[in-house]
Structure 1
Amino acid sequence: MKIFSSKQFYEADKITTEKQGITSVDLMERAATQIYGWLHQRLQGAQVPIHIFCGIGNNGGDGLALGRLLVENGYLVKCYIANYTDKRSPSFLTNYSRYKDVTKNWPLLMTCVEDFPAIAREDIIIDALFGIGLNRPPEGWVKQLIQHINTTPAYKLSIDIPSGLYAEQAITDHEAIIKPNHTLTFQAPKLSFFLPESGPYVTFYEILNIGLDEEYMQTTKPVAQLIAKPQAQRFYKQRNKYAHKGNFGHALVAAGSYGSMGAAVLSTKSTLRIGAGKVTAFIPECGYNIMQISVPEALVQTDVNPKVLSKIEFDFMPDAIAVGMGMGTGKESVAALRGLLKKVTCPILLDADALNCISSTKTLLKLIPQNAILTPHSGELERLIGEWSDDYDKIEKTKAFSKKYNVIVIIKGANTIIISEGEMYINTTGNPGMATAGSGDVLSGVITGLVAQGYDPLMSSVFGVYLHGSAGNIASQLIGFEAMIASDITEALGDAFIELFRQDEQQQAPAD
């Protein structure tokens, strides 16, 4: 699914009205009809007071059009206009006039705090104050109105985007944003729905198709791609019945040190669990028994150094390499990583201490192969690219880093972001239970195992992040967020593959 900018949405609106021979008011009517249908399906005519707060732009016009439809169908509606300026959009004025034609209870013009209505817990609030065109935070009594709405216990529904939240701009005033229970957004979600600073304002959203020009939506390059089940299904490669382990690659996991062998175990086991044909763990000698007992399916080779990796040498040609998980950051580790980077000829994933070694020894940056996969958590990313002022600054700096060194960077988080060649992919799976030690080691193994099987590095990154999050979701449903540990994610990877197509199978079942 594509994520577009505000500018692109305005272009889509314009092209849609031109090609379909309709007006912007007609398009607004479509949007209002969709929202009405969503509400009516749930309310079924229930006589609960509905308070619609409208701005004086197109978002307010949506609110007025919705209010008219609700009034015409017998609902108890009260509309309020935040009259903060004399400027009004033409579409707003048209819908204001249409609303007045169907009821004697005209919208209340609010100009100060004294105009704020009392709202009961059982009521419903619909937020239509500001849309995606907002470019500065609400101030004065309008900000106080937003705070008034937020403090009421009534159910809150935002139209297109929570008022006060920008579509693709950093938040400048957290106290001037509606906090809805649900958001109904038009045609496609907005970038701000998926970033750490702004995402908490959109806890639940649904997409309403308002019929924007299909050609424009299909051919226009988006600001990001959203990866959900339909996209992930297209990545999957069906296995041949007559295949053998040699067809699914041999991966090398170079990881671990004294006291940190768990990271090596988690990565190695996940590389196998995701489907790699063979996996060799290259570890310090101290971890030999640990690895052989914990992952009996893995081959093991050891470093001459008993406690850390000092020289990564192996006697086969791997199809994919993962390095860094728990390996340490001392001089020996830096030397081991440098030696590996100088000779590597297959796709490589750099995680954890490998990234920390690179951050402390910048000369290693020049040795990173093209299309290498980097999987930093927030702290590791900051050491690589420097501090950032907000989520958007972080994205731009990561894009610059990715482009400069021609690498794939995975920004791990609630909605993990994969960046490659200026393109951005946003994952939709995962949950708070995955915020646990070792989760990232599992992800490194998942991606490496996919690369070993022949998925290209970018596809492995995007697909791997999705499956990792899906496995986390499955595990959390069994044991809850708090009880989850990283190995639970590994154990659920098989179910993540099954889940990938479970819904389609149900839909294809014959009817009774």
Structure 2
Amino acid sequence: MLPLLISSQIREADAYTIANEPISSVDLMERASKAFVGWFCNHFQEKKKAITVYCGTGNNGGDGLAIARMLSEHQYKNINVVVARFSDKASDDFNTNFKRLQQTGIPLKEVKPGESLPEENSPIIIDALLGTGLNKPLEGDYKRLVNYINNLKSTVVSVDVPTGFFSEGEMPADAIVLKADLVITFQQPKINFLLPDSAPYIDCWEAVNIGIDEKFVRSLNSSYQAVEEKDIRGLLKPRHRFSNKGTYGHALIIAGKEETMGAALLSAAACAYAGAGLTTACVPKSGLTALNTYMPELMAVIRSGGEVPAIEWDKFSSIGIGPGLGKQDDAMGLLADVLANYEKPIVVDADALNLLAANKELWAELPENSILTPHMKEFDRLFGEHGNWWSRIQTGLEKAREHNIYILLKNDYTITITPQGMVYFNTTSNPAMATGGMGDVLTGIITSLLAQKYTPEEACIIGAYIHGKAGDELSRPNRLNVVMPAQLAARLPATMAKLMA
């Protein structure tokens, strides 16, 4: 796992690296600036274009001054620097790099409080004004400067963090932030980069390694972690000789009604493709022909006339409930029956989540270590309205602990929240997967993994990863604009085989 640090931990890790490598703080700044410039040069190769570097007077500004000097050394012909002297304070490393810059002949302007802003015509702007640690909205001269730059048509590349952006914590809805086309950030992404609240301010980001002591970073035991491919390779269990269908469990998918059988088919198929030894779908009688035609490997428990069928609960290793189930009385009866008779963790999705939200008395029956898989609106129905994603994570941590459940909160970087207080961000998936039915596939995958005796935490982490990875494998090499859920489900065996190779 890649630890994701809050601002105070980033400063702590910097200080530890400086003290124990050892390296001076200004030399660590030099190394970070070199890493930035290396990535920048590979992607912005036109060296005659004008570039203006906007610098504050703290360490982020010091990075900017060093970056300007290095770009000039790399033969970029038209570098300009603007220093925002909006404070009497300046960091020691900023002052060191300011003196170094003055020796280069690079054009330098300083702007002081209340002064007119210089006319800006550069097509590329590098933002090194404030960096991490901001915990209040911009105001005064910084706000004026950021609004000015935002109204230009320049490409903006931010150093570490866009000015005005909070690395973690709640972003005010009306925050003034310098909108970045690209952020080149140091060591690891900031937590808020991975939340949808960042979308209006950051088009894309790239993390560059600056040599922070990784062993110390891991010792900080951050509650926030990004899942890496090596983690999934270590968790997946290859199939062995002399195993049989019983080795890999029997999963039950309770889903679908007459009008929404597609959700049941997708979820059950994904469950089988992800490796459950046996998969049974509990579907309405009208859907049996569709089930048999779609995937003859699936078995069925038939629901008829709105009655709850008699089910031998003990024969199932795992249960997923909700996709396309509806919210009528029979759906409520099915959910209540599961909760009353099944003691192992279950996967609760879609309409089953909405039933939980509307019938709070059901919470007491929810088996420990069950997995809830809401998207944003379903999450808010369950736990109340939220103004931003950071507050959803904090509520998720509270509710996961209170009910001893796992919450898989779906978005670009799907978030697994555990009752032990951990938050795992998935790092696979792409916009081509934004298609109805993808959530049904994910429910089937997680139910399948539970049947195969993965822990609920492993099922969430692996399930989200291989779901996104299969989508990536379908989309990126073929430049597909849309990946269909049925395609993705069928891709799962190949994706998992590659990861276990």
Query: Is the aligned partner of 1:116 residue 2:118?
Result: yes
Taking the TM superposition and a 5 Å limit, the aligned residue runs for 1:357-506 are: 357-421=355-419, 422-477=421-476, 483-498=482-497, 500=499
Range with greater deviation from structure 2 (168-177 or 266-275)? 168-177
Alignment CA distance shift 1:103-1:438 (3 Å): same
Aligned counterparts of 1:65 and 1:425: Cα–Cα separation in 2? 35
Matching residue of 2:291: 291
Q: Which residue of structure 1 aligns with residue 153 of structure 2? A: 153
Describe the superposition over 1:228-262 as per-residue Cα deviations: whole angstroms up to 9, x where unpaired. 32322222212213322221111111122222222
- Structure 1 pair 15–439 and aligned structure 2 pair: CA distance change class (3 A): same
How far 1:486 moved relative to its partner?
A: 2.3
- CA shift for structure 1 position 165: 0.7
Contact 1:402/1:409, CA 8 A, preserved across alignment: yes
Aligned residues of 1:251 and 1:319 also touching (Cα < 8 A): yes
Per-residue Cα deviation, 1:415-458 (whole angstroms, up to 9, x for no partner): 11110021101112222232322211111001111111221111
Over 3 Å counting, the alpha-carbon distance change for 1:315 and 1:46 in structure 2 is closer
Q: Distance in 1 between matches of 2:402 and 2:175?
A: 38
Q: Could you tell me how far 1:44 is from its partner in structure 2? A: 6.4
Q: 1:468 to 1:214 in 2, by over 3 A?
A: closer
Given candidates 69, 82, 85, the residue that maps to 1:83 is 85
The one-letter amino acid paired with 1:330 is Q
Name the amino acid aligned to 2:208: L
CA deviations on 1:67-108 (whole Å, 9 max, x unpaired) are 222334543321111122222222222221222133273443
Question: 2: CA distance between counterparts of 1:476 and 1:113?
Answer: 50
Q: What is the aligned length? A: 498
Aligned-pair CA distance for 1:476:
3.2
- Alpha-carbon deviation of 1:112? 4.8
Report the alpha carbon displacement of residue 309 of structure 1 after superposing the two structures with TM: 5.9
| Correspondence for 1:95 | 97
Contact 1:254–1:312, Cα closer than 8 Å, also in 2: no
Specify the SS of the correspondent of 2:237. coil
SS in 2 for 1:118: coil
Q: How does 1:233-382 map to 2 (within 5 A)?
A: 233-303=233-303, 305-306=304-305, 308=306, 310-311=308-309, 313-314=311-312, 317-382=315-380
Query: C-alpha offsets along residues 326-348 of structure 1, whole Å, 9 cap, x if unaligned?
Result: 22222332222122112213331
SS of the residue corresponding to residue 282 of structure 1 reads strand
Please tell me whether the aligned partners of residues 157 and 180 of structure 1 are also in contact (alpha carbons under 8 angstroms).
Answer: yes
Q: Which amino acid aligns with 2:342?
A: V
Following TM superposition, by how much is the alpha carbon of 1:316 offset from its aligned partner in structure 2, in angstroms?
5.5
Q: 1:180 to 1:13 in 2, by over 3 A?
A: same
Distance 1:264 1:112, change over 3 A: same
Q: Give the match for residue 508 of structure 1.
A: none
Q: Residue type matched to 2:400 in 1?
A: S
Asked whether the equivalents of residues 166 and 192 of structure 2 are also in contact (C-alpha less than 8 Å), the reply is yes
> The residue matched to 1:14 in structure 2 has which SS?
helix
Alpha-carbon distance between aligned partners in 2 of 1:462 and 1:332, rounded to the nearest angstrom: 32
Deviation per residue, 1:187-231 (Å, 9 max, x gap)? 111011111111453332222222222331121111311123232
TM-score by length of 2: 0.93
Relative distance call for 1:46 and 1:435 in structure 2 (3 A) is: closer
Tell me the secondary structure at the aligned position of residue 491 of structure 1: helix
Structure number with higher relative contact order (C-alpha < 8 Å, ≥ 6 residues apart): 2
Does the 8 Å CA contact 1:312/1:340 hold for their aligned counterparts? no
User: Could you tell which deviates more after superposition, 284-293 or 125-134?
Assistant: 284-293
Alpha-carbon shift at residue 481 of structure 1 (Å): 6.2
> What is the letter of the counterpart of residue 358 of structure 1?
L
Aligned equivalents of 1:310, 1:247: Cα separation in 2:
29
Question: Aligned equivalents of 1:345 and 1:320: distance in 2?
Answer: 10
CA contact (8 A) 2:433 2:482 kept: no
Matched letter for residue 291 of structure 2: M
Task: Normalising by structure 1, report the TM-score.
Answer: 0.91
**C-alpha deviation, 1:41, in angstroms:** 4.1
1:434–1:173 distance in 2 versus 1, CA, 3 Å: same
Give the residue type in structure 2 aligned to 1:103: G
Task: Give 1:52 deviation, angstroms.
Answer: 0.6
Task: Report the Cα distance in structure 2 between the residues aligned to 1:361 and 1:235, rounded to whole angstroms.
Answer: 36
Q: Quote the RMSD (CA, aligned, Å).
A: 2.3
Whether contact under 8 Å (1:157, 1:183) holds in the other structure is: yes
Change (3 A) 1:144 1:494: farther
Task: Report the alpha carbon displacement of residue 286 of structure 1 after superposing the two structures with TM.
Answer: 2.5
Partner SS, residue 147 of structure 1: helix
Partner of 1:193: 193
The CA deviation at 1:45 is 8.4
Mapped partners of 1:209, 1:215: distance in 2: 14
What's the CA shift for 1:474?
Answer: 3.0
SS of equivalent to 1:281: strand
CA contact (8 A) 1:414 1:431 kept: yes
Measured in 2, the distance between the counterparts of 1:301 and 1:108 equals: 74
> 2:38 matched to which residue of 1?
37
Report what 2:223 is aligned to: 223
Runs of 5+ consecutive residues of structure 2 not aligned to the other structure: none
How far apart, in 1, do the equivalents of 2:307 and 2:85 lie?
Answer: 67
**Do the aligned partners of 2:302 and 2:309 also contact (CA within 8 Å) in 1?**
no
State the match for 1:182 in structure 2.
182
Give the secondary structure class of the aligned counterpart of 1:349.
strand
**Aligned counterparts of 1:395 and 1:28: Cα–Cα separation in 2:** 33
Give the 3-state SS of the residue equivalent to 1:256 in structure 2.
coil
SS in 2 for 1:114: coil
Distance in 2 of aligned mates of 1:261 and 1:21: 63
Taking a change above 3 Å as real, the CA distance of residues 45 and 379 of structure 1, as seen in their structure-2 partners, is closer
Structure 1 residue 111, shift from structure 2 partner:
4.3
CA distances 1:16-49 after superposition (whole Å, capped 9, x unpaired): 2222333322221111122223334455682332
